[in-house]
Structure 1
Amino acid sequence: MKTALLVIDIQKDYFPGGKYELVNPLAAAKNAYMLLQCFREHDGHHVHIQHISLEPDATFFIKGDSGSDIHDSAAHFEGEPIVYKHEPNSFLNTNLLDLLKGWGVERVVITGMMSHMCVDATARAASDLGFKVIVAEDACATRDLQFGGTSIPADHVHKAFMSALQSYGDVMKSDEVIALLAGEMNLQP
C-alpha cells in the first residue's frame, strides 16, 4: 500500500521560547524526525505542512515571523514538498489532496502538532477522503486546555484525542509504524 508521511505544524512557536508553547514538543518532534528520516532514506513520499495564520489578531504563526518557521528538529530540506495551510484541516483549501493523489497514496502516517487540533482535524479528513490513516501518537504534542473552569492536563488531552482517533484509523507508536512499514516493504515509491 503506497504510504505518505505528513509532518504537520512542527513550527518554532510551539517550542520553548515560542509564542504558543506546547508540553514536551521536543520529544514528539524527535519521534517525527525518526519517521521523517526513515521515509527520506527509503525514498518514501513525505510532506511538511506549515500553518500560516491569516487572522488579523493572530498571536502565533504570523506570516513573516520566525515563529512560523519549521523547527530545526524536523527540518524541511530544499526540494521537499511543503503545503501551506490556514485552517486546522491540512486538506482544506490546500493542494495536499492533489499531491497525495498524484503520488497514488492510499495511506497516510500523521505526525505533528497539536494533537487536539490540526492532527485531529487532518486525521478525520484523511479518513473521510478515503485514506487509510495511521497516527504516530508519540510523534504528536499538545498543551493543557481549559473548559468549564476545569484545567485538563496535556497528557489527558492527548490521550483523549488519540482514543477518539482510533475510530478513524490506527494509533501507534513511531517504532511500531516503522516496523509495520518495514514489514510491508512499502517505503519504496
Structure 2
Amino acid sequence: MTRALIVIDVQESFRARPLWEAISDPKIADKVNRLVRLARRAGDLVVWVLHSEPGSGGVFDPALGHVRPLEELERREDGELLIHKSSHNAFTTTNLEQLLSGRGVRELTLCGIRTEQCVETTARIASDLGYLVTFVIDATATNPIPHRDAPSGQSLAELLADPRTLPADEVIRRTEYALAGRFATIATVDEVEAAADLPA
C-alpha cells in the first residue's frame, strides 16, 4: 500500500452553517464516494479527517454533534482511519504523517471542504513533506469569500450582494492555478477513475 485517499472535512459542521446555501457543490458527497470506492478497489488506504474546535461553542465544537462525516458518505469503520484536526492542514495537529509513513504511503489523493483552505493547505504541506499529491479539484467544495474590508457578521445575502466578494468558482479556479505544477497534480474524479481503469 503506497497510496492513500485523504477525505478532508466533509462534515456536517459545514451543512449546519448558513453559508452552506452558497456552497459550490452541495452534492460533494457523491464525488467523494466515487473516490472512496475507487481507493478501496485499488487497495489504497482511506483516511477520514474532521475539523474539531473543542470548547468553541460553534459548529466545529464536538459537543454540538456536527463534527461527523456528512451522512451521505459511505464511511467504513473497519480498516479506515478517522482523525481529528484543529489546524487548517491535516498534518500539524495530528499523527497523520506517522500513520502514513508507517504504512509506506508516498502518494496522496486529496478531496474535501474547503478547496482553498484545509484541502489546499494540506496539499502544500504534503508536497513539502515529499508526498506525490493529486488534488481532485471537482471533489472539493468551498464558499464565496468576503473581501478583507467587508464588515464582520455579514449575512449571506449581504455577502452575495457585495461586488468585492470572490465567487466560489473563482476561488476554485485560483486554487487550481496556484497548486498545479508546484504542489500537486490537478485531476477530476473522471480522470482519476479513467487512470484507475488503465492496465498496469
Aligned with 1:7: secondary structure? strand
| Residue in 1 that maps onto 2:174 | 160
Offset at residue 181 of structure 1 (A) = 3.4
Once superposed, which parts of structure 1, at least 4 consecutive aligned residues long, lie more than 6 Å away?
Answer: none
| Residue in 1 that maps onto 2:76 | 77
Offset at residue 59 of structure 1 (A) = 2.5
Alignment of 1:48-67 (within 5 A): 48-54=48-54, 56-57=55-56, 59-67=58-66
| Residue in 2 that maps onto 1:44 | 44
Partners in 1 of 2:146 and 2:77 — Cα distance?
39
1:78-134: per-residue Cα shift (whole Å, max 9, x none)? 222111101111001211101111111111000000011100110000000000010
Partners in 1 of 2:57 and 2:12 — Cα distance?
15
| Residue in 1 that maps onto 2:159 | none
Q: Do 1:11 and 1:50's aligned partners in 2 also have CA atoms closer than 8 Å?
A: yes
Between 96-105 and 37-46, report the one with greater CA deviation: 37-46
What amino acid sits opposite 2:194 in the alignment? A
What amino acid sits opposite 1:162 in the alignment? E
Partners in 2 of 1:177 and 1:64 — Cα distance?
37
| Residue in 2 that maps onto 1:88 | 88
Mark the runs of 5 or more structure 2 residues left unpaired by the alignment: 151-163
User: Alpha carbons of 1:46 and 1:90: their partners in 2 closer, same or farther (altered >3 Å)?
Assistant: same
Q: Do 2:38 and 2:196's aligned partners in 1 also have CA atoms closer than 8 Å?
A: no
Larger radius of gyration: 2
Partners in 2 of 1:132 and 1:42 — Cα distance?
17
1:33-88: per-residue Cα shift (whole Å, max 9, x none)? 1000111233221100011114x545221112222111122242222211110111
Q: Do 1:28 and 1:139's aligned partners in 2 also have CA atoms closer than 8 Å?
A: yes
Q: Do 1:110 and 1:135's aligned partners in 2 also have CA atoms closer than 8 Å?
A: yes
| Residue in 2 that maps onto 1:4 | 4
Partners in 2 of 1:42 and 1:168 — Cα distance?
24
| Residue in 2 that maps onto 1:109 | 109
Tell me, yes or no, if structure 1 residue 119 matches structure 2 residue 119.
yes
Q: Do 1:27 and 1:139's aligned partners in 2 also have CA atoms closer than 8 Å?
A: no
Give identity over the alignment, percent: 29
The total of aligned residue pairs comes to 182
| Residue in 2 that maps onto 1:14 | 14
| Residue in 2 that maps onto 1:183 | 198
TM-score (norm 1): 0.88
What amino acid sits opposite 1:117 in the alignment? Q
